[in-house]
Structure 1
Amino acid sequence: MTDLDAFARRCSAGALTRLATGPAALDDLPALARRLAAPGEWVLLSDDTAKTAAGVDLLSWVAGLIGEARLVTVGDHAPVTLDEATVEAAVAEVGTPGLVVSVGSGTITDLGKVVAARSGAPLLAVQTAASVNGYSDPLSVLVIGGAKRTKPSTWPTALVIDDRAIRAAPPRLTRAGVGDAIAIWSAPADWYLACRLGLDGPFDDAVVRPVLDAVEQLADPDPEVAQRALVDGLTLGGLVIGIADSTAPLSGSEHLVSHVLDMTAMARGTEHDLHGAQVGAATVLCTALWQEVRASCRVFDLRWSELSYPDDLAERVLGTWAELDPSGRLGQECLSAVQGKVAAWDAADKTACDKGRGELLETLFGYVGDPARSAATLRHWGAAVRFGELTPAVDREQLAWTLSALPYMRDRLTLPDLLVMSGEWTPELIERVLDRAEASASSNR
């Protein structure tokens, strides 16, 4: 079993000085706070969502453990979105304290990293759910120009994961964590592809292997074993993102699906489900995409060194996002990102991939999981397997549009980019992928 505390220090080059996890990790809070900062103006950062642990109010418990601290609460009885206005308001209200103590799930922790980075204060993060892998990395997911973007912020100086808080988290947050965890059965294939084509890297199996090993027991019949696999898998996921200095090892097409769903909901003023819940269903979908492409497309037989993005790419990008934002602001934000990807493709030397295609494909598909296994693991935890099981449900028409938009959103190459270049990213392919994913979701594995 990995020593998470020691591994955290290695991954962060000492920036994450303490990772306390286990049945009584909160007991470390008083000593941790005193070690990180001298007594003075400390800030307790949270939202107005009630949180409990061992049957008591968690925010009050943490406040009692650390002593006097000024409470900064974000959100107003609504989910917090880290858009420009929200972030700037929080940074201004936090000011320049001696210590920031964040108490919350992924969004609050991401905000804590941003305000700590901007203020120069150490961050003591108290994790309240096993919902995403972003607690233990130095990045924050923000909304910029209406688009979801992952930006550098800072490592937590210390991270506390107490089993009592994790067990008390709303079940829907835990189910979302399962969805985020199983992305390891999809994302590394996109990362490997981009690395081999010269658009990222270098690829290192040692980055993803600890997470692959940790999630092996996610569907264990012993709830304690499965819970530990979930917490460790997510925590290791965040740490290895720090090693790679990128979310790419754990964020491929399946995360793009979730981001596009979020962006669609924000643009339309509607609700969307939790990030991890969407990622879980998208992992079933995107592993089905890999299978379908291998079975029915010619992209793996073409000379990739001769492929290029289509001449009308800018029009496609702008046209895609005009459906959500007629002002063009979102389209321009996404076009800027996509143009970076095109420039990287044009500059990369892809000839080696053409020569070593057999070995490349064997390794590549070694990182593609079985969509039926993903579906079975989600079902084991009672998590959504199909997009129609999300809250709110995503119908087939909306899902097909979401898939079609994937290559036109960010600057990272994934499988749909190659299909755009080969001319195979078509409505017909997308319909076949949706059918294959449904068959996997219906499997009795």
Structure 2
Amino acid sequence: MTETFDLSALKQSLDAAPDHKNLKPLGLQTIYLGRDALTVLPDVVAAMVDATPALGPVAVLSDSTPKRYHAGDLLSFVTGCIDARHRVRNVTVGVAGHTVHADEETLAKAIRDCDGAACLVAVGSGTVSDIGKAVAAAQGIGYIIVQTANSVNGYADDRSVLLINGVKRTIPTRWADVLIVDTDVLVKAPVEMNVSGFADLIATFTAPADWYLATLLGMDDSYSPTVVGLARNQGSALLEAAPLVPQADPNALEQVAKTLTLSGISMGIAGTTAPCSGMEHAVSHLLEMATTKAGNETALHGAQVGVTTIVAALLWQRVLGEIADGGLSRVRVPGPAESQAAVLAAFHTVDPSGAMGAECWRDYERKLARWAHASERIELAKRDWPTHEGTLRHLLATPQSLVAALQSAGAPLRFADLEPSVNEADARWAVANCHLMRERFSIADMANFLGIWDDDLVDELIADAAALGSSR
């Protein structure tokens, strides 16, 4: 077992960065990553219990999906490690055989079930760990995550993706105190989950461009070259490991885990998920919202992100061409009434109650108000656009290279390749309306404000992305 991350050195490096005053404190205390990392769990829990005056049990949060560790059951191993010294309270979220959703009801029940606990240990997926962050924050107790798959990058940040009024929202909660990533656990995880994490990371080859453009045009104030560098620090090694990910090669899975962890940390210190989450994540969230509302199972989040990153890269090419042709002189500011009607109509199709549309409008209204005052920043951007375009192209990968990377890891390339597959109507709805769900500015917003975001362009992007995926 190795403690891979020297967090003290990382913190010192961040403190010395030119933009360090804009960064948030790194709250993770310790990360154990490698073979047999779980052997530290008894001592880690004991130290956490000793540091609290609470006399309650150690709450172990998990879902009902069995997980393997060596030849046995992972949850039994974890509870056995803890039970040797402390009382254990098992807390299960979700319904057996179904995807766990971090909605208000599930979260409220988990908080109640963990009442009085001395500390919390989460054993499970990104959703389970996100619920755990919110529970630990609400209860004010120490928090340990045992990562069970390389499915997402959210294990190592301080936010939780929660369902609020049926809408996926990323809410500040808290960092884990300790993150344990045992490669002997990862190799037993479903192959598709580890591949999903790889696909989730592909967004770092488009999302930072969304973030840079947003800050350039006055729609965000948080862009940080230091954070982008951290998020993409392991990019070359990640791509080299890609072909071995579906083979559950321990070294490849450790590399993916390390990259996911740095990606999560980058979001935490940025105070936003923007370094790793742009248009492509919004589309994935919309797909999940629609399928959840319909009572259907969703495809893995990271797999959806990978597919949609190809679409985002294609849109970037189109928008850069439009701006080079003088597009910034033709931007428009939609009126509030027009925009509210568009938001409410878009989400009425999946939620006739209007709750989802109202939740999205609250966020979109703030984005629209900021855009109404962006004219000065737009003029400044126009004056030095060649320089900004160079920076953006440096942050972007080509659609073809993204397809090649995803293919090398055995990840889905088209909406139809997802499991369960996404039909054409749902894909079109999610792509067409991705800019309407949140305050974050993305390349889809830019296309909309340029006046080119319409059904024809959406259909063209989806068709072109599918053609790229089919050609491999």
Question: Shorter-chain-normalised TM-score: which range?
Answer: over 0.9
In structure 2, what is the Cα distance between the partners aligned to 1:21 and 1:204?
Answer: 27
In structure 2, what is the Cα distance between the partners aligned to 1:227 and 1:72?
Answer: 28
Structure 1 residue 58 corresponds to structure 2 residue 84: no
In structure 2, what is the Cα distance between the partners aligned to 1:203 and 1:161?
Answer: 29
Aligned residue in 1 for 2:18: none
Could you say what secondary structure the match of 1:377 adopts?
helix
In structure 2, what is the Cα distance between the partners aligned to 1:2 and 1:439?
Answer: 41
- Asked if the contact 1:217/1:226 (under 8 Å) is kept, the reply is no
Cα displacement (A) at 1:309: 2.5
Could you say what secondary structure the match of 2:425 adopts?
helix
Aligned residue in 2 for 1:411: 439
Structure 1 residue 385 corresponds to structure 2 residue 413: yes
In structure 2, what is the Cα distance between the partners aligned to 1:304 and 1:407?
Answer: 21
Aligned residue in 1 for 2:455: 427
- Asked if the contact 1:52/1:169 (under 8 Å) is kept, the reply is yes
Aligned residue in 1 for 2:327: 302
- When residues 198 and 7 of structure 1 are mapped into structure 2, their CA distance, relative to the original with a 3 A threshold, is farther
- Asked if the contact 2:307/2:415 (under 8 Å) is kept, the reply is yes
> 90, 97, 100: which one pairs with 1:80?
100
Could you say what secondary structure the match of 1:249 adopts?
coil
Please say which of residues 273-282 and 283-292 is displaced more in the overlay: 283-292
- Asked if the contact 1:317/1:408 (under 8 Å) is kept, the reply is yes
Structure 1 residue 291 corresponds to structure 2 residue 303: no
Aligned residue in 2 for 1:3: 5
Q: What does 1:26-425 correspond to in 2, within 5 Å? A: 26-38=38-50, 40-67=56-83, 68-77=87-96, 78-220=98-240, 223-295=249-321, 297=322, 301-303=326-328, 307-310=332-335, 312-348=338-374, 349-350=376-377, 351-425=379-453
Counterpart residue type for residue 413 of structure 1: F
- When residues 383 and 303 of structure 1 are mapped into structure 2, their CA distance, relative to the original with a 3 A threshold, is closer
Superposition RMSD on alpha carbons, in Å? Answer: 2.1
In structure 1, what is the Cα distance between the partners aligned to 2:233 and 2:356?
Answer: 39
Could you say what secondary structure the match of 2:283 adopts?
helix
- Asked if the contact 1:194/1:413 (under 8 Å) is kept, the reply is yes
In structure 2, what is the Cα distance between the partners aligned to 1:9 and 1:341?
Answer: 33
Cα displacement (A) at 1:290: 1.1
Cα displacement (A) at 1:443: 4.4
Where structure 2 has 5 or more consecutive residues not aligned to the other structure, the ranges are 15-23
In structure 1, what is the Cα distance between the partners aligned to 2:104 and 2:9?
Answer: 33
- % identity of equivalent residues: 35
- Corresponding residue pairs, total: 443
- When residues 6 and 164 of structure 1 are mapped into structure 2, their CA distance, relative to the original with a 3 A threshold, is farther
Cα deviation digits, residues 343-399 of structure 1 (max 9, x gap): 222234413212221111111122111222222222222211111001121233332
Aligned residue in 1 for 2:17: none
Where structure 1 has 5 or more consecutive residues not aligned to the other structure, the ranges are none
Please say which of residues 255-264 and 198-207 is displaced more in the overlay: 198-207
In structure 2, what is the Cα distance between the partners aligned to 1:88 and 1:143?
Answer: 12
Could you say what secondary structure the match of 1:19 adopts?
strand
Aligned residue in 1 for 2:19: none
Moved over 4 A (4+): 7-12, 221-225
In structure 1, what is the Cα distance between the partners aligned to 2:106 and 2:59?
Answer: 17
TM-score when scaled to structure 2?
0.89
